[in-house]
Copies of this chain bind each other. A is one copy, B any other.
Amino acid sequence: MTTATTATTTTATSPDQLDAIAQRAADIAPVWAATAPRERARALVAAADALAAASAELVAIAMAETGLTEARLTGEVTRTAVQLRLFAETVVDGSYLDVRIDEADSAFALGVRPDLRRYRIPVGPVLNFAASNFPFAFSVAGGDTAAALAAGCPVIVKAHSGHPLLSVRTAEIVAGALESAGAPAGILQLISGQAAGVAMLNDPRIAAGSFTGSIRAGRILADVAAARPAPIPFYGELGSVNPVFVTRAALDERSDAIADGYLTSVAGSAGQLCTKPGFLFVPTGHALGDRLAAQAAAIGEHRLLNPGIAAGYLDRRDAVLAAPGVTPIVEGSLRFDEHGQGWATPTIVTVSLDGLQLQREALLDESFGPLSVVVEYDDESTLAAHCDDLFEGNLTGTVHAGAGEDSAALRSVIDWISGHAGRVLFGGWPTGVAVTPAQQHGGPWPATSNDSSTSVGSAAIGRFLRPVAYQSVPHALLPVPLRDDNPWNVPQRRAGAGESQSWGESAR
């Protein structure tokens, strides 16, 4: 038990505890913000090492609390540790600071220009609402936590009620490793309870919020953040149905592979992934049904995360199956055990594009579980226009085209995806999100509450930074990344004296 995690039980954090936790985060914020890059990175790597070393213990707790498989959870621990290491690299690299230096310029286009130096500083204590479906990668030590710690912000995590014991144990291990590596006590703290989470989001000492979960809960929290006397940024990753578009050429080329890949993507983790393909658009006359049915028969039942999610899935599945025009391809099972836990196998239904439009109320919402809809279309060239009418924002959109295929219709679908989603895939499947510098996990509402950023990949660090400029400050008093001698060796973009004389010339 470290000093950092005051809420060690699964009961709701009390108002007094919340106050102490917020104050500790506020007190240490300047200390952590002032750490040198290698020092901060060393703490992140120590956290990664400790997490990986405790994998077996943590996975056992997670299996019992979430019903996810050992293989999936073990992989998720690895991913979460790698994520911490990626952010350690990001901190040392320093390009995330976006250092800009304007040299003083007596011949500036608008008169004398002072010496101006700008970089990005940590915003302060961050409140991160953990997700149910990724008990490691989007939870206590997950992406938002790693990004905020890397940015130089203390983190308070509101534990998800679906894995309380895991949350406490993970916080102990990770906070302990961070502190042993030199981070101040309180660098990572845990709170529990919905009301406690809302109270903390309203606390003036909290500088930013992040969230992964449902549209309903995310909207409530986004509204709380926006309505504060001093509003704060709130990054909610909410709902997405991730449409996939299969061209006729692709279908002719690899129908079975598409059926298999689709089913694997829908069924993995019992479909409880924010990037699960909820709709597969295929040309009429396809023959995917037999293949899907045959492959689905080999998939055993998978427990859903918790009774609440199972109840929600039951409702959605019933609504979809009852919608006029909808035909089951694979009518999977859903049963409840004596603990109220739901167990499911994949359900795949089909509907015509016209039918989808007629039954939009029943069909368009996300079904959080192993259910997906095969939509049969006639004319590829009108797909983008139909989607304009059907869908809001999404995390992803995927195209399966033939080898070398290129057409106006195909381009219009790609353009539509880029206008309505954060990630455009060509071939492949949207589940399985690489944790890398170029990843984008976000998208227009309701995929996120704020689509200026990502919740996966190193660019997520930008969520927890704000820019500050220093004008004519003597070198001895400048922050280290802005100094000419640049001891941390961070990238510095310089605007030299005299450059403004050419502004606009190159564009003529």
Interface residue ranges, A against B (CB under 8 Å): 30, 38, 41-42, 44-45, 48, 75, 78-79, 82, 84-86, 88-89, 91-92, 95, 98, 100-102, 108-110, 113-114, 116-118, 121, 222-223, 226-227, 230-231, 233, 392-393, 404, 406, 410-411, 414-415, 418-419, 421-428, 434-440, 442, 444-446, 449-454, 459, 462, 465-474, 476-477, 479, 493, 495, 500, 503-504, 506-508
Interface centre among A48, A392, A472 (most CB of B within 10 A): A472
Contacts of A102 on B, CB cut-off 8 Å? Answer: 434, 436-439
Whole-angstrom distance between the alpha carbons of A339 and B80 in the complex? 67
Residue in B91, B118, B411, B446 whose beta carbon sits within 8 Å of that of A230 in the complex: B446
Contacts of A465 on B, CB cut-off 8 Å? Answer: 452
Q: A222-B231, A233-B452, A440-B467 are in contact. Are A109 and B82 (CB under 8 A)?
A: yes
Q: A116-B434, A438-B118 are in contact. Are A418 and B471 (CB under 8 A)?
A: no
B82 lies within 8 A of A500 (CB): yes
A121 lies within 8 A of B467 (CB): no
Contacts of A473 on B, CB cut-off 8 Å? Answer: 414, 424-426
Q: A38-B507, A45-B507, A428-B114 are in contact. Are A439 and B469 (CB under 8 A)?
A: yes
B230 lies within 8 A of A226 (CB): no
Whole-angstrom distance between the alpha carbons of A121 and B452 in the complex? 10
Given A114-B428, A414-B473, A444-B466, 4 more pairs with CB closer than 8 A: A30-B419, A38-B507, A45-B508, A102-B434
Contacts of A468 on B, CB cut-off 8 Å? Answer: 418, 421-424, 440
A436 lies within 8 A of B504 (CB): no
Q: A230-B392, A473-B426 are in contact. Are A507 and B41 (CB under 8 A)?
A: yes
Q: List 11 A-B contacts (CB under 8 A).
A: A42-B507, A116-B439, A226-B227, A414-B477, A418-B468, A423-B470, A426-B474, A436-B495, A437-B493, A440-B468, A459-B467
Minimum CB–CB distance from A126 to chain B (whole Å) comes to: 13
Minimum CB–CB distance from A143 to chain B (whole Å) comes to: 13
Whole-angstrom distance between the alpha carbons of A439 and B439 in the complex? 29
Residue in B100, B424, B469 whose beta carbon sits within 8 Å of that of A423 in the complex: B469
B438 lies within 8 A of A466 (CB): no
B477 lies within 8 A of A440 (CB): no
Whole-angstrom distance between the alpha carbons of A450 and B453 in the complex? 14
Closest 8 A-B residue pairs measured CB to CB? A41-B507, A440-B469, A226-B226, A85-B504, A100-B438, A230-B445, A85-B503, A118-B438
Residue of B nearest to A219 (CB): B231
Residue in B89, B406, B470 whose beta carbon sits within 8 Å of that of A506 in the complex: B89
Residue of B nearest to A113 (CB): B434
Whole-angstrom distance between the alpha carbons of A326 and B114 in the complex? 35
Minimum CB–CB distance from A62 to chain B (whole Å) comes to: 18
B440 lies within 8 A of A504 (CB): no
